[in-house]
A and B are shown apart, each in its own frame.
Chain A
């Protein structure tokens, strides 16, 4: 399997995540779409590691997963806080991100 097919799949996944971020209004769904984009980048890095035969891409994927775990913890805490303050998760509601 040529390595380009993996890159094409990850490019399509990234675009799907981007469309989701632009299309949906729920903050949790937005966050899930960001995870989708993050995973597609991980797939690109793993494919690049195989393409060049080195460890760096896989190490990067490992660190991206660590950072994503930390990001999800903080982001979900923020979302819960926002929901308790505003009573909604709709990001189109005016002043949702203002204190």
Chain B
């Protein structure tokens, strides 16, 4: 890592930048292809981590050290851990994940190739000329070529990493956007909490149902041993909790065995709410 930082600091347009660019570019493209072709989702997520790290390396060669650190911390650290967390939580099976119809696959690849061709056709030429190399002795741009300004002059002598340069802009010109992003993160946190909560059966209801089911099974066992309906009726009445109506008691007892996994059935409570 230190070697990479030194190589990125060493200046633009030199041999080390070219070598690092090709290494990280091939790594990024290869891991990107691996993300969409891996059948195992966990392997795909790990390939995505590799892709993020390669892009962090590309940021280093682009003289954007702060973005490189942020990329590693936020993307490869936080976001991918969240992804892996969800994958492990859901325990997703890894069979038959490609799109089913062959025409869909052919059209998808053709569309992607078309988009890539159009973008590359737009970039190659004006942006890949020798004038676009970010170094001091680059030739001046002619025609539709675009000259690269580079960030070394903007950073200045006392700020080689560019953090102060970035911070000055972020807290003066983009203060409003910065405050809004704080609001956005708060809203996202609240939204995630609300979305992740399971509304179909509250925990106290579950406990109550379990207790009632136990009570009812005990009552039924007792009734079976006595083997008389006239004796079983008063016994059920005594086993009821105080203040509980008998109808609710019976319902909770009936519902209790399937109370552990209500969302598995396709016609969940949400469907009923929409139609009702």
Specify whether A and B are partners.
Answer: yes
A residues with CB within 8 A of B: 1-9, 11-20, 22-26, 28-29, 31-33, 35-36, 39, 42-43, 46-47, 49-56, 58-59, 61-63, 65-74, 76-81, 83-87, 89, 92, 99
Q: Mark B169-187, 1 if CB is under 8 A from A, else 0.
A: 1100010010001001101
Stretch at the interface among B30-38, B210-218, B223-231, B242-250: B30-38
Contact B123 A4 (CB under 8 A): yes
Asked whether, in the complex, the Cβ of A3 is within 8 Å of the Cβ of B134, the reply is yes
Task: Give chain B residues whose Cβ lies under 8 Å from the Cβ of A8.
Answer: 119-120, 123-124, 128
Give the residue of B17, B55, B70, B123 whose beta carbon is less than 8 angstroms from that of A11: B123
Q: Tell me which residues from 80 to 121 in chain B have a Cβ below 8 Å from any Cβ of chain A.
A: 82-83, 86-87, 89-90, 92, 97-100, 104-105, 107-109, 111-113, 115-116, 119-120
The 7 closest A-B pairs by CB, nearest first: A4-B127, A53-B149, A20-B36, A4-B128, A22-B108, A11-B119, A70-B188
Q: Which B residues touch A11, using CB under 8 A?
A: 115-116, 119-120, 123
What are 21 A-B contacts with C-beta separation under 8 Å? Answer: A5-B25, A6-B58, A8-B123, A8-B124, A12-B29, A28-B86, A35-B79, A36-B48, A39-B52, A54-B154, A55-B165, A59-B170, A65-B70, A67-B184, A70-B187, A72-B83, A73-B188, A74-B188, A77-B196, A85-B270, A99-B270
Identify the closest chain B residue to A2 (Cβ): B132
By secondary structure, the A interface counts as helix
The minimal Cβ–Cβ distance linking A68 to chain B, given in whole angstroms, is 7
B192 touches A3 (CB 8 A): no
Task: With A35-B79, A39-B55 as known contacts, state yes or no: A85 contacts B268, CB within 8 Å.
Answer: yes
The verdict on A1 contacting B17 (CB below 8 Å), with A36-B51, A74-B191 known, is: yes
Partner of B108, one of A23, A28, A47, A62: A23
Residues of A within 8 A of B100 (CB): 25, 92
Among the listed B17, B112, B168, which residue makes an inter-chain contact with A16, where contact means beta carbons less than 8 Å apart?
B112
B151: CB under 8 A from chain A?
Answer: yes
- Chain B: CB-nearest residue to A47: B62
Query: Given A9-B28, A9-B58: A20 and B181 within 8 A (CB)?
Result: no
Task: Establish whether residues B92 and A15, one from each chain, have CB atoms under 8 Å apart when the complex forms.
Answer: no
Query: In whole angstroms, how far apart are the Cα atoms of A99 and B41 in the complex?
Result: 26
Q: Given known contacts A36-B32, A50-B64, A66-B185, is B111 in contact with A26 (CB within 8 Å)? A: no
